[in-house]
């Protein structure tokens, strides 16, 4: 019998913060386009429907990457995978910076999405290298890094594009990624993971679909989060087109400042998570869906003033992440040995929803303006509420 592998050394605090910074920078790459999408469209001379393909294909590629690449973390070194994938992201950003043609820019952005797996590998890496009593603290720190990356990307992109141009946004992103690529080898400790048979990898991928078919609660939660994330992406992309249109004439920096409203979720999400622990995730998700629908309903009447629209955006950002958190909580009640694969299905559904929201939000705005977009958002949010009600009722009436 082989000797058991030695336990990996604990991460230092500096390494924990370096890993959190990596997650923030890597996550940000998908969200720079949110406030500047109108400027990018004008730069390449394309319309709203065409520019919507950039974030849509990025999200679809990310979903595919999660499905095909994330399970490799069970067979290969997390450190090696992260180093390869982060370096790949840096090369893709370089392609976006140099692209003079819209098709090349879109292709580089799509490939960037496919290799954006590090934010999902790093928490697994860190969980093996922190003391058990600090696992929750470090996990929360890495989760907050995702929200922080999205926030900084949307605010920073709007400000940089207004002061310079949208192209400079991706130049800055490339510099940040180059720095992370250089620092990451020192932030991640070495590990030894034996290579597993390829046939087992194929069976593992197949089991993702098999388990999804066997767990209706997971399918409902995945559908809810898919619609929820579709609503999120469609809101911010269409909002950027709406506010920077000739009719309103706000700048990309104004859109960036408005994106800072997302800070509310950093404060409210942990508190609402504790509340969900007390009353149950399905009941909490239903309540959050009601509040979100109320906020979405106010987008059209209040959407012609950058000051008035703060109210519905505050409501949506306050409860939107809670819908995701409570959805994941429903998975964590299932058997530990299948949670990772169920979570893979859940995340894939989320990013497929994000791709649909990106394409639909921009296309509907180009066709029917802000009114059409708000009608689409209302339908999506209504779907979230309806499915949340169905899930809560199904759980309440099931046999003990």
Reduced 3-state DSSP string for the chain: CCCCCCCCCCCCHHHHHHHHHHHHHHHHCCCCHHHHHHHHHHHHCCCHHHHCHHHHHHHHHHHHHHHHHHHHHHCCCHHHHHHHHHHHHHHHHHHHHHCCCHHHHHHHHHHHHHCCCHHHHHHHHHHCCCCHHHHHHHHHHHHHHHHHHHHHHHHHHHHHHHHCCHHHHHHHHHHHHHHHHHHHHHHCCCCCCCCCCHHHHHHHHHHHHHHHHHCHHHHHHHHHHHHHHHHHHHHHHHHHHHHCCCCCCCCHHHHHHHHHHHHHHHHHHHHHHHHHHHHCHHHHHHHHHHHHHHHHHCHHHHCCCCCCCHHHHHHHHHHHHHHHHHHHHHHCCCCHHHHHHHHHHHHHHHHHHHHHHHHHHHHHHHHHHHHHHHHHHHHHHHHHHHHHHHHHHHHHHCCC
Which range is most confident: 13-17, 162-166, 374-378? 374-378
Could you tell me the residue range of the domain that residue 328 belongs to?
A: 200-400
Statement: residue 400 has pLDDT above 60: no
Does residue 73 lie within any of the structural domains?
Answer: yes
Does residue 237 lie within any of the structural domains?
Answer: yes
Query: For residue 162, what pLDDT is reported?
Result: 86
The least confident of 14-28, 283-297, 334-348 is: 334-348
Question: Using 50, 70 and 90 to split pLDDT, how confident is the model at 1?
Answer: very low
Query: For residue 331, what pLDDT is reported?
Result: 73
Say yes or no: 180 and 204 in one domain: no
pLDDT digits (tens, 9 = 90+) for 47-82: 888 898 999 999 999 999 988 888 777 677 778 888
Say yes or no: 335 and 369 in one domain: yes
Which range is most confident: 50-59, 286-295, 358-367? 286-295
Question: Using 50, 70 and 90 to split pLDDT, how confident is the model at 197?
Answer: low
Q: pTM of the predicted model, to two decimals?
A: 0.79
Query: For residue 4, what pLDDT is reported?
Result: 46
> How many domains, the chain?
2
Say yes or no: 374 and 263 in one domain: yes
Statement: residue 192 has pLDDT above 60: no
Q: Which of 122, 153, 184 is the last residue of a domain?
A: 184
Does residue 120 lie within any of the structural domains?
Answer: yes
Say yes or no: 18 and 148 in one domain: yes
Query: For residue 134, what pLDDT is reported?
Result: 64
Statement: residue 124 has pLDDT above 80: no
Query: For residue 131, what pLDDT is reported?
Result: 72
Say yes or no: 274 and 177 in one domain: no
Distances (CA, A) of 26 to 23, 147, 174: 5, 12, 11
Say yes or no: 176 and 307 in one domain: no
Does residue 3 lie within any of the structural domains?
Answer: no
Q: Which of 184, 212, 239 is the last residue of a domain?
A: 184
Does residue 192 lie within any of the structural domains?
Answer: no
| Average of per-residue pLDDT across 187-202 | 62
Say yes or no: 156 and 265 in one domain: no
Say yes or no: 321 and 381 in one domain: yes
Say yes or no: 96 and 242 in one domain: no
Say yes or no: 160 and 295 in one domain: no
Percent share of the chain, pLDDT over 90? 38
Does residue 378 lie within any of the structural domains?
Answer: yes
Q: Which of 230, 204, 219, 218 is nearest to 67 (CA)?
A: 204
The least confident of 131-140, 152-161, 183-192, 363-372 is: 131-140
Gap between the Cα atoms of 4 and 24, Å rounded: 34
Statement: residue 103 has pLDDT above 70: yes
Q: CATH number for the domain including 298?
A: 1.20.1250.20
Statement: residue 398 has pLDDT above 50: yes
Statement: residue 193 has pLDDT above 80: no
pLDDT digits (tens, 9 = 90+) for 335-353: 666 666 777 888 889 989 9
Q: Which of 131, 158, 184 is the last residue of a domain?
A: 184
Question: Using 50, 70 and 90 to split pLDDT, how confident is the model at 390?
Answer: very high
Does residue 2 lie within any of the structural domains?
Answer: no
The least confident of 217-226, 294-303, 308-317, 329-338 is: 329-338
Query: For residue 2, what pLDDT is reported?
Result: 41
Say yes or no: 130 and 267 in one domain: no
Statement: residue 5 has pLDDT above 50: no
Does residue 189 lie within any of the structural domains?
Answer: no
Say yes or no: 161 and 309 in one domain: no
Give the residue with greater pLDDT, 378 vs 119: 378
């Amino acid at each position: 019998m082989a000797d058991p592998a030695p336990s990996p050394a604990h991460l230092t605090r500096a390494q924990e913060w370096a890993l959190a910074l990596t997650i923030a920078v890597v996550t940000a790459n998908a969200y720079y386009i949110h406030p500047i999408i109108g400027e990018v469209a004008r730069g390449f001379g394309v319309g709203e429907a065409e520019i919507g393909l950039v974030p849509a294909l990025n999200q679809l590629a990310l979903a595919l990457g999660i499905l095909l690449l994330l399970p490799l973390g069970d067979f290969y070194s997390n450190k090696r995978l992260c180093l390869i994938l982060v370096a790949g992201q840096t090369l893709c950003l370089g392609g976006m910076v140099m692209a003079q043609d819209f098709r090349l820019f879109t292709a580089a952005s799509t490939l960037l999405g496919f290799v954006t797996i590090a934010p999902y590998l790093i928490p697994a890496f860190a969980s093996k290298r922190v003391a058990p009593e600090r696992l929750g603290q470090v996990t929360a720190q890495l989760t907050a890094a995702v929200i922080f990356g999205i926030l900084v990307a949307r605010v920073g992109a709007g400000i940089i594009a207004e002061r310079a141009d949208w192209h400079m946004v991706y130049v800055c992103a490339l510099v940040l990624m180059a720095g992370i690529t250089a620092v990451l080898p020192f932030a991640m400790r070495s590990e030894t993971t034996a290579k597993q048979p390829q046939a087992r990898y194929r069976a593992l991928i197949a089991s993702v679909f098999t388990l999804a078919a066997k767990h209706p609660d997971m399918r409902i939660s995945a559908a809810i989060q898919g619609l929820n994330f579709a609503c999120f992406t469609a809101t911010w992309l269409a909002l950027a087109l709406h506010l920077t249109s000739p009719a309103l004439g706000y700048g990309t920096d104004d859109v960036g400042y408005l994106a800072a409203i997302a800070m509310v979720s950093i404060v409210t999400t942990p508190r609402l998570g504790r509340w969900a622990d007390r009353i149950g995730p399905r009941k909490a998700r239903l309540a959050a869906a009601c509040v979100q629908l109320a906020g979405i309903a106010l987008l059209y009447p209040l959407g012609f003033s950058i000051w008035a629209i703060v109210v519905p955006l505050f409501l949506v950002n306050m409860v939107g992440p809670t819908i995701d958190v409570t959805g994941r909580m429903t998975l964590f009640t299932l058997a530990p040995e299948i949670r990772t694969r169920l979570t893979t299905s859940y995340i894939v559904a989320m990013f497929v929803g994000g791709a649909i929201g990106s394409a639909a939000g921009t296309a509907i705005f180009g066709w029917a303006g802000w009114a059409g977009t708000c009608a689409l958002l209302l339908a999506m949010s209504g779907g979230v509420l309806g499915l949340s009600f169905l899930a809560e009722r199904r759980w309440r009436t099931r046999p003990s």
